């Protein structure tokens, strides 16, 4: 390994240390490392920025749009409620989420699965008072594990199959790697279920709302014959809502307060909540609950509405919303109210307003421009959130998603073409607005994935990847054929933590064939080891793009991945070395 290899090693070590110490956002640090490698001449400009023209970040961005549309349409919560609604305990819930993802990942694109599962899982955790950090990383790992169960499970498997064809060898059959991959996937998922709550810290449990957090008051009705009727407050998750507290229930003129977890909900119960404004916004979308202001909401013109936070001026002192005819006067509906130092008593429409009261208002996008200088309101601030007037087109979104799976699964279109077509169709059927599509794309994730390609090119160009592989093979080859197999597997798993999965597979493929030639054996077991090792990436968030997707959202630290990933790597190595020689003899 020459000077460029040592220089690349130094930059990679510095990057890993910086990521582990969380010195800056991951996307920024990886981009800086790639630029440094460009400046010192290890890679050229085309290689440094190849990721920005690669299909991977584009596919991720398009699938994030689909995931946002699935969230807006309410596609997944009803399915999750039916499937997971009565599962007791965190471990049982994790099992019911991860095993289906593992099995589905053998046939569906991993990125799509994780992108769709993230918002639904966060919503479920918020309603149950659980930490999303205990679920998002296992979801990513379950998708990674499931990807090795079939040849179409990941693009890496297909890449290796293509390399086999180029070498004049038979490509992988659809289920050829299943006898090895399926046991690894199932045992690995079991390890996730058993060890996650022991090894993975709760990254959100120590977070408290600021002391000056403003509590809004909102009232909601239990929908007649809806999914909440006849169920207890605790079973539907109303006692564990993050940032929202169920203060009282009004039923037939009687007030139930405090509310017991065992209280059964009746049709038309009036529920009084107090909580943070962002959670009050999300509460408007909970299935089975209707805003008491639904009549005013229905009377709003059009369906493109957004939330605003407005502070009342002195012109309304003593008047109620009903006195003002607020909806007719401003073309807006008041959903919740905050008053400093006091909780709002009674129904919102009957509360005399005071200067300084803060209202959560649903109005069209031009509301702020029309009234910010009117003097009626001291402040008008737009808020993010999905309006209850947003059309719920779950069936259309679901059919588009199913079409994507079928079209890409059978090779009718490429994943890139399918993902872009999905994004365009969602906009065409108004599954989400252009603004919502724009907001759905997390640039940190896109930049991080794109910048990682330049880093991978540097590891390859500089000879660092080959040097690491040669060292591992030099150690394990004297141990015999299984030792040589272990060397190829561990070399691939080590390299794939630094570069992309496909790049690791391409880099180690010739090493596998050379090892087989040197030992006079069939190359297929060594190639299968490369295929598995390139995908089974659990030690760092850099190992797989779904890990990168949950990195920031789950509030993880760099070391969290190794904490949960080490047992998975040990299981994967042990089972691979035991099963590959059985199903792929030397």
Give the model's confidence band at 19: pLDDT under 50 very low, under 70 low, under 90 confident, else very high: low
SS (H, E, C) 95-145: HHHHHHHHHHCCCCCHHHHHHHHHHHHHHHHHHHCCCHHHCHHHHHHHHHH
- C-alpha dihedral (367, 371, 377, 383), degrees to nearest 10: 20
In the numeric block, the tokens 């957004």 are attached to 306
CA-CA distance, 139 to 121, in Å (whole number)?
A: 9
* Model pLDDT, residue 190: 95
Helix (H, G, I), strand (E, B) or coil at 362: strand
CA-CA distance, 459 to 474, in Å (whole number)?
A: 20
Q: Is 583's pLDDT higher than 80?
A: yes
Helix (H, G, I), strand (E, B) or coil at 337: strand
Q: How many CB atoms lie within 10 A of CB 414?
A: 13
DSSP letter assigned to residue 214: P
* Burial grade of 3 (CB within 10 A; 0-12, 13-18, 19 or more): exposed
Helix (H, G, I), strand (E, B) or coil at 481: helix
pLDDT digits (tens, 9 = 90+) for 203-236: 654 333 333 445 777 888 888 888 888 888 877 7
Q: Averaged over 268-275, what is the pLDDT?
A: 84
Contacts 24+ apart (CB under 8 A), 414-419: 414/55, 415/55, 415/59, 415/109, 415/155, 416/55, 416/58, 416/59, 419/58, 419/59, 419/62, 419/63, 419/66, 419/112
Angle 445-405-67 (CA atoms, 0-180°, nearest 5)? 35
- pLDDT higher at 180 or 96: 180
Q: Of 440, 415, 458, 418, whose CA–CA distance to 51 is shortest?
A: 458
Q: Averaged over 291-306, what is the pLDDT?
A: 68
CB 131 within 8 A of CB 206: no
* Model pLDDT, residue 210: 38
Question: How high does pLDDT run on average in the chain?
Answer: 79
The CA–CA distances, whole Å, from 149 to 20, 146, 549 equal: 31, 6, 22
Radius of gyration of the chain (CA): 27
Q: Averaged over 146-161, what is the pLDDT?
A: 81
The CA–CA distances, whole Å, from 95 to 137, 269, 450, 512 equal: 13, 34, 33, 36
CA-CA distance, 212 to 341, in Å (whole number)?
A: 10
Longest dimension (CA), the chain: 92
CA-CA distance, 126 to 385, in Å (whole number)?
A: 15
In what helix (H) or strand (E) does residue 328 lie, and over which residues does it extend?
helix 326-330
DSSP states along 282-298: HHTT-TTEEETTHHHHH
CB 137 within 8 A of CB 200: yes
* Model pLDDT, residue 209: 37
pLDDT digits (tens, 9 = 90+) for 530-580: 999 988 878 887 667 788 778 767 778 878 888 889 999 999 999 999 999
């Amino acid at each position: 390994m020459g000077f460029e290899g040592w220089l690349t090693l130094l930059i990679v070590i510095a990057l890993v240390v910086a990521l582990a110490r969380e010195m800056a956002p991951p996307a920024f640090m990886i981009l800086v490392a790639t630029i440094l490698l460009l400046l010192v001449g290890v890679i050229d400009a085309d290689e440094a920025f190849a990721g920005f023209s690669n299909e991977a970040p584009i596919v991720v961005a398009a699938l994030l749009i689909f995931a946002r549309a699935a969230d807006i349409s309410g596609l997944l919560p009803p399915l999750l409620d039916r499937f997971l609604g009565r599962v007791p305990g965190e471990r049982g819930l994790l099992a019911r989420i991860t095993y289906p993802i593992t099995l589905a990942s053998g046939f569906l694109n991993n990125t799509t699965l994780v992108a769709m599962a993230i918002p639904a899982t966060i919503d479920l955790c918020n309603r149950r008072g659980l930490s999303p950090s205990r679920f998002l990383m296992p979801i990513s790992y379950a998708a990674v594990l499931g990807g090795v169960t079939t040849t179409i499970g990941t693009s890496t498997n297909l890449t290796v199959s293509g390399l086999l064809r180029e070498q004049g060898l038979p490509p992988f059959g659809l289920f050829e790697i299943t006898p090895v991959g399926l046991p690894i996937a199932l045992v690995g998922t079991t390890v996730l279920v058993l060890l996650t709550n022991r090894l993975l810290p709760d990254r959100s449990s120590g977070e408290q709302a600021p002391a000056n957090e403003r509590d809004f008051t909102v009232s909601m009705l239990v929908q007649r014959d809806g999914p909440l009727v006849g169920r207890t407050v605790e079973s539907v998750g109303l006692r564990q809502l993050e940032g929202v507290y169920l203060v009282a229930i009004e039923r037939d003129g009687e007030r139930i307060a405090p509310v017991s977890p065992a209280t059964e909900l009746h049709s038309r119960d009036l529920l009084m909540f107090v909580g943070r404004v962002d959670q009050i916004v999300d509460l408007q979308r909970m299935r089975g609950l209707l805003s008491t202001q639904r009549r005013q909401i229905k009377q709003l013109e059009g369906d493109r509405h957004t939330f605003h936070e407005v502070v009342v001026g002195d012109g309304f002192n003593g008047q109620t919303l009903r006195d003002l005819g607020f909806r007719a006067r401003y073309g807006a509906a008041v959903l919740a109210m905050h008053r400093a130092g006091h909780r709002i008593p009674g129904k919102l429409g009957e509360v005399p307003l005071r200067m300084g009261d803060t209202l959560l208002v649903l109005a069209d996008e031009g509301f702020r421009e029309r009234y910010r200088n009117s003097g009626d309101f001291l402040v008008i601030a737009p808020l993010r959130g999905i309006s209850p007037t947003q059309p719920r087109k779950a069936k259309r979104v679901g059919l588009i998603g199913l079409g994507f799976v079928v079209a890409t699964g059978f090779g009718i279109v490429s994943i890139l073409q399918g993902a872009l077509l999905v994004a365009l169709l969602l906009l065409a059927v108004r599954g989400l607005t252009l603004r919502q599509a724009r907001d759905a794309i997390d640039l940190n994730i896109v930049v991080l994935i794109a910048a990682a390609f330049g880093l991978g090119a540097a590891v390859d160009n500089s000879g660092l990847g080959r040097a690491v592989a040669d060292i591992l093979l030099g150690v394990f080859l004297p141990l015999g054929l299984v030792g040589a197999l272990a060397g190829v597997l561990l070399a691939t798993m080590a390299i794939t933590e630094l570069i992309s999965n496909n790049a690791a597979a391409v880099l180690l493929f010739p090493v596998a064939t050379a090892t087989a030639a040197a030992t006079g054996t069939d190359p297929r077991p060594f190639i299968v080891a490369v295929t598995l090792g390139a995908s089974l990436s659990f030690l760092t968030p850099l190992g797989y793009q779904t890990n990168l997707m949950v990195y920031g959202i789950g509030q993880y630290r760099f070391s969290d991945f190794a904490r949960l990933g080490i047992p998975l790597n040990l299981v994967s190595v042990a089972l691979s070395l035991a099963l590959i020689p059985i199903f792929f003899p030397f």
